[in-house]
Chain A
């Protein structure tokens, strides 16, 4: 099963993926429940960053939580380093926890307030001694003087550095970063982005970078997947997705982002979508984007478009009328 998946058409290129996600599904509340993730497929190669972007409710966080196996998928497979981890039990997962780590959005809420930084970073497995902890703290821009303090003594940016040090303690191969900078001040965002980029270069880490901010994703990720209502609607290289977006939703999303330049803002074309993102509890039939899409025709209302190769390279789009 695993063999077959890994030699599928999506991964026929030179590098074997570190993480292979195939038709991943998560339905909450039984068979008739909410389809938070509805058939997601992508790869993350060793040392690369894949961006997962989308608006609230699109399933990006749920996807991340299934990959670190905080959630057990209700369908599809997650293959890590050639091994199917989709339904591993708690004991079998334990060694895997070292290889796949996670960084969260709200750094202070994800640190135990009653533990010192040393304790937090060395982790429940006590992976590091004090010297190791201090080395890691220095690596993320903190110092020995921080080791005995508690999380409330730190600013948001510093707390995120602690969260990153904790994630690094087990020498992971993949870190799932769930909105790692979106709660931080603008001047601090750049510091944390730089830190993540440096760490990746030095340690050869792979990131799955989950964010709603298209500008951050653009900077961090060589490849990008755009999600809408539980599905990937477009996936490809940064260049193809940002400079020639093929899905009407990607185009609208990109045009909605305010650009910090008043002259550009004055002249650029803006696609203002009607309505809100639909609820995954009651998805529209056919293409789930059709009620907000200016290009929608009859087929869009009845038939969900498959994710197919469109244009050069590896870019894929799920749209009946890709641009």
Chain B
């Protein structure tokens, strides 16, 4: 395990954004983290990267055998960029407009690996070539605004990978891109992962993207784990009412003709506010199963993720109302 997260909690003065999540990630594997706004998916990833200054982070984040929660900021800074890297949704706001992209890639490399400017510059050109930027030597001297959205995201990936990290966190990396460009970037991430056996944490709201890239999926709701399972199982036999609702309501390219223009089975209500989250299971106010057969436990007690489903211990679901013997949908 390159990354082992246990009972991670991230609290801000206004409320708790992540309330006890656990997962592990191996080299060369991709974990898809799915959730809606306020589910805590981005906050979790920033906590792993040690990027929360105002938040109280507790629990355990073990990266390659080393505990990061409570570690000195200088140590986390050494790892960040060197061994764990991150790319974001909007590459333009992550790139400095006054420096050429070559300088920006070289700077990170030089800082972490203490090489000469010349070596770092060569590395930048090499990385731009690797991520598929044509004429990399010339383009290294251009500024971010000279690049299209897809090309900027390639630059971000080049920068993130220049120091050969073991973990890449990608936070909605293709959400701002056109669909044909998204396909290129997902293909690039997949290829790089194969070549370098890097572990990828892919944070997204798009179930299609998850289906394309993830080996395992963590579904988050209201700062907690709803369901965590191998990707195939999440899509084939979802157990949590939220996962099921999400999969049933998502619009598809190939729906049955009888569904055309008809009503989608939508989940009612809105994602919970973290300032005043619902008691017990945070999904219960929107839950079809709770509505059909209300259970006091859903209102009073937060369900813990437990093994449920055909996958045995690898398929964990946090719901009071499911049959843990693993019946099929």
Contact = CB atoms under 8 A, between A and B. Distances in A.
Interface stretch (B102-110, B119-127, B266-274): B266-274
Interface stretch (A62-70, A132-140, A188-196, A314-322): A188-196
Given A197-B261, A218-B253, A242-B253, A260 B270 contact: no
Given A185-B271, A187-B245, A261-B211, A213 B251 contact: yes
- Indicate the size class of the contact surface on chain A: 35 or more
A215 B260 CA distance: 11
B22 to A, nearest CB: 23
Contacts of A265: 208, 211-212
Nearest to B204: A258
A281 interface: no
A186 B183 contact: no
Interface stretch (A31-39, A85-93, A248-256): A248-256
B36 interface: yes
A159 to B, nearest CB: 11
Contacts of A41: none
Contacts of B210: 260
A97 interface: no
B187 interface: yes
- Indicate the size class of the contact surface on chain B: 35 or more
Interface string A253-295: 1111111111111000010110011000000000000000000
Contacts of A214: 179, 253
A212 interface: yes
Contacts of A258: 182-183, 186, 206, 208-209, 211-212
Given A187-B271, A197-B262, A262 B231 contact: yes
Given A155-B270, A272-B187, A193 B178 contact: no
A210 to B, nearest CB: 15
B192 to A, nearest CB: 15
B184 A259 contact: no
Given A185-B205, A252-B180, A219 B247 contact: no
Contact of A190 (B37, B150, B266): B266
B53 interface: no
Nearest to B150: A276
B264 A276 contact: no
A256 B267 contact: no
Interface string B227-249: 00001100110000000011101
A214 B180 CA distance: 12
A260 B232 contact: no
Contact of A188 (B214, B262, B270): B270
B249 A187 contact: yes
A157 interface: yes
A257 B179 contact: yes
Interface in A195-231: 197-198, 212-216, 218-220, 222
A253 B261 contact: no
B109 to A, nearest CB: 26
B264 A261 contact: no
Nearest to B184: A272
A55 interface: yes
B58 to A, nearest CB: 28
B254 A189 contact: no
6 contacts: A187-B266, A193-B264, A197-B262, A198-B263, A258-B212, A262-B211
